[in-house]
Structure formats: structure tokens, C-alpha cells
Amino acid sequence: MKVAQWKMETPVGIFHLVASGRGLRGLYWKEQAAPYAESLAQPGEEIAMLARAVHQLEEYLEGARRVFELPLDPVGTDFQRQVWAELAKIPYGETRSYRDIARAIHNEKAMRAVGAANGKNPISIIVPCHRVIGANGTLTGYAGGLGSKTKLLELERRGLSLVDLHG
């Protein structure tokens, strides 16, 4: 499958976005290895998908977008995709624990597996793994770092614009 990628610099970090003709396949932090770096496509549907994703991310970081309207095409196991689908249901400005997600997928004993699937989420921010916290309310690991996770949660809780805060 052909994919295209785009590098995006933001107030919270540098992202590598990857899209197929079916949808957004990845939004990776600079520190993560984007697995599709060798598979660049000629301009086409993939490029249009990246442009839509970049525009919506800019709106989100400006505090003007709460819900993303993009087709997604993540690659993962059935269990991972089940967890990611549940993450996508967490409302803007709210958080859930790993236990909450495990309960929501009707597998309460799978908290560690939920945590592992959360860590493998290939579409950060849009599939909001930053909204998952520890059972006691503490911030837990995040691919973009805890500082970025804190900024994203503050953006959502306070309705701030990270663009204004950064500039």
C-alpha cells in the first residue's frame, strides 16, 4: 500500500504524519520511529489526507477544534484496535484510567494489556492516548513525554491555545 508522510512542527513538538489512501495511518512524535518512512507515494489521495490532518491539528492546538473528523487507518492487532476505538470515545477535556478502558472493553483484568496497547497507539492526539492516566490520577508515560502530555491536557481543560502560549 502506498503511503505519504509529512513533518509538522508544533508548540508541543515535531510530528511525523503518515497517511494511506484509506485514512490517517500514523501521527508519531519526533522521538518515535515512523515505520513507513521508506514508502513515500506520489501526490494523490494520501497527500490530501495529510493536508486535512495538518489543518485539523492546527485548529486543535489553537483551541478551536475538539473533535477530529478524519478517516483513520491504524495498523495493529484486533485487541489494540479495540482499545484505540475506546480511546477515541474519551471526550475532549476528560481523562480515563487504564482500568476504565479495560472495563469499557469488558475485560477488566486486561489493565496491563490496555496500557501496552495505549503505548502502541500509532495516531497520537487524534486517538487521544494522552487522556489516559493512572488509577490514582497521576500522569503516566507518553510517547511525546510527560511535559507534552501535561500541555495537551491543560489545553483541553482550560480551552487554551498552545499557539498563543508558545509564541
Rounded mean pLDDT, 15-34 = 86
Q: Quick one: pLDDT band at residue 167, thresholds 50, 70, 90?
A: very low
Residue 54 appears among annotated catalytic residues: no
The pLDDT score that the predictor gives to residue 158 is 81
Query: Could you name the CATH architecture of 78-160?
Result: Orthogonal Bundle (1.10)
Q: Please tell me which residue in 114, 123, 129, 152 is annotated as part of the active site.
A: 129
Q: Quick one: pLDDT band at residue 34, thresholds 50, 70, 90?
A: low
Q: Where are the domains of the chain?
A: 3-61, 78-160
* Size of the chain in residues: 167
pLDDT tens by residue, 94-129: 999 999 999 999 999 999 999 999 999 999 999 999
CB 157: neighbour CB atoms within 10 A?
12
Burial pattern 102-119, b for ≥16 Cβ within 10 A else e, equals bbbbeeeebbebbbebbe
pTM above 0.85, yes or no: yes
The pLDDT score that the predictor gives to residue 166 is 44
